Amino acid sequence: MQSESETSVRLRFAPSPTGYPHLGNIRTALFNWLFARHHGGIFILRIEDTDTARKVEGAVDIILDSLRWLGLEWDEGPYFQSQRLSVYRETAQKLLDEDHAYLCYCSPERLEAMRQEQTKRKQPPKYDQHCRNLTEQEKSQLKAAGITPVVRFKTPLEGETTFHDLIYGRVTFKHDTLDDFVLLKSDGYPTYHLANIVDDHLMAISHVLRAEEWLSSTPRHVLLYQALSWQAPRFAHLPMILGPERAKLSKRHGATNISEYQKQGYLPDAMINFLALLGWSLDDRTELLSREELIRHFSLERVGKTAAIFNREKLEWMNGVYLRRLSLGEFVHRAMPFLDRDLPDSVRRPLDESYVSQVLSLIQERAKTLAEVPQLADFFFLDELRYDTGLLLKGKLDAKSATGAITIAWQKLEKLATWDAATLEGILRSLTTELNLRTGEFFGSLRIAITGRTAAPPLFQTMAVLGKEKCLKRFKMTLQLLLPSCPN
């Protein structure tokens, strides 16, 4: 048998712009891209835009932007099927000429009535082949009446079609479960089936990797290839992606438009790593794989048949890992637009890059997404913090001890000439001993005074970055807040 690299490996991603690309679409694109790159082949982008009624404005741009954002660059295309209509019409004509197809004049009303009747009888909806057997006289009458026909394929009446799927193995469909499907619609546009196989043939596609939902279309495609005496590509249907508890993937779970992940601050490399593991695995253990490693190891043998489960916590964890791997400079570069976008308007722009960099050196460890960065870091930028006095007292020092301790801390720190984490730590730790306080309680109160929250980056480093003036101001504000809770 020829090895993959000896043949010409040509893959395609063929999205329909009937909606924005979601996780499943992009997983398909990724597997095609990985397979092509692994074998040194070609990755083609083809926009299947023949369903004019369901076309969504702007979808093509979002598809292209998403692929670019993820670095899934294509070698050919994008080809647009809407610009290739004559090719499909010629093929439909060839199928008509060779008696593999026929003209169907049935009106939408007749088809609808037929469908209703079938539903009533609990039969699967299927064209009843009314026009397959028209007499010559009937045909010329219908033609003369000026009705625009559709072209339907003559599915063999008996027997079955078997093909080999690279993931599912031997797959057989009985012909009586397939109907005489439409090839060319009355508006002159091809259906998915016709345009898809014509293009896969003309674009010399070697492997079709697509979602499992297309498996039932494949026998139709195989029949078309046979009718046209064309060699069919190899097929590999990718397992479904389900949400937690094996439910259908919902918007909440990630069926959402892929550009949402960009807006939420996921890194392309983390997305690629995560998506690669939705259906493929290296060894059931390894979770973190770079793009290069994925290309090196990707193979269809390790694509599973069972549905992959989408797990948002895993995606967040993975993104955190990739965020921590960035150099500080790169992290700042990527987080800056999110700070700009999401910090309150009261924070003066442009943000000072060297200050941002000091702040983010404390945040990088903690962020799971870039969109979290402004929330984790806002207290570094705000002039005044707003928080509840209750927070200061909950499980910490009582108001009187807190007021006393913070006042003394304020007096000591006010005199400080050197404002760095080590000096601050030295002073505040000895103060804890001096006042006979518990470190956890005292530092807990200070943390709230400085950050307005209970969980934040290490206290002394935070204070060092914030600077003397802001810290002292925040202590003062805390003292004012505590005042009403203090007994006289």
Asked if 65 and 17 count as a contact pair (C-beta separation under 8 A), the reply is no
How many residues bind ligand GLU (CB under 6 A)? The answer is 7
Residues in 178-197 at the binding interface with ligand GLU, rule: CB under 6 A: 196
Using CB under 6 A, which of the segments 11-19, 226-234, 364-372, 459-467 binds ligand GLU? 11-19
Which H helix or E strand runs over 429?
A: helix 421-434
Task: Pick the closer one to ligand GLU by CB: 214 or 419.
Answer: 214
Using CB under 6 A, which of the segments 9-17, 237-245, 252-260, 305-313 binds ligand GLU? 9-17
Residues in 38-77 at the binding interface with ligand GLU, rule: CB under 6 A: 48
The CB-of-14 to ligand GLU minimum distance in angstroms stands at: 4
Question: CB burial class (10 A; 0-12, 13-18, 19+) of residue 31?
Answer: buried
Cβ atoms within 10 Å of 177's Cβ, excluding its own: 12
Question: CA geometry: angle at 357 spanning 355 and 362, to 5°?
Answer: 105
Task: Pick the closer one to ligand GLU by CB: 46 or 447.
Answer: 46
Using CB under 6 A, which of the segments 12-20, 53-61, 65-73, 113-121 binds ligand GLU? 12-20
Q: Is 126 a catalytic residue?
A: no
Task: Pick the closer one to ligand GLU by CB: 214 or 317.
Answer: 214
Amino acid residing at 104: C
The terminus-to-terminus CA distance of the chain in angstroms comes to 92
What distances in angstroms separate CA 270 from CA 120, 256, 405, 444, one per listed residue?
50, 17, 46, 35
Backbone φ and ψ for 211, nearest 5 degrees, come out as -65, 155
The CB-of-204 to ligand GLU minimum distance in angstroms stands at: 15
Question: Buried b vs exposed e over 253-287: b needs ≥16 C-beta within 10 Å?
Answer: bbebbbeebbebbbbbbbbbbbbbbbbbbbeeeee
Site string for ligand GLU, 13-42 (x = CB under 6 A): -xxx--------------------------
The CB-of-182 to ligand GLU minimum distance in angstroms stands at: 16
Site string for ligand GLU, 98-137 (x = CB under 6 A): ----------------------------------------
**Catalytic residue selected from 143, 174, 251, 314:** 251
Task: Pick the closer one to ligand GLU by CB: 4 or 48.
Answer: 48
Q: Is 346 helix (H, G, I), strand (E, B) or coil?
A: coil
The CB-of-20 to ligand GLU minimum distance in angstroms stands at: 12
What pairing do the DSSP bridges indicate for beta strands 76-80 and 101-104?
Answer: unpaired
Residues in 207-226 at the binding interface with ligand GLU, rule: CB under 6 A: 210, 214
Cα atoms found within 13 Å of the Cα of residue 149, Cβ hemisphere only = 23
Active-site residue list: 251
Footprint of ligand GLU (CB under 6 A): 14-16, 48, 196, 210, 214
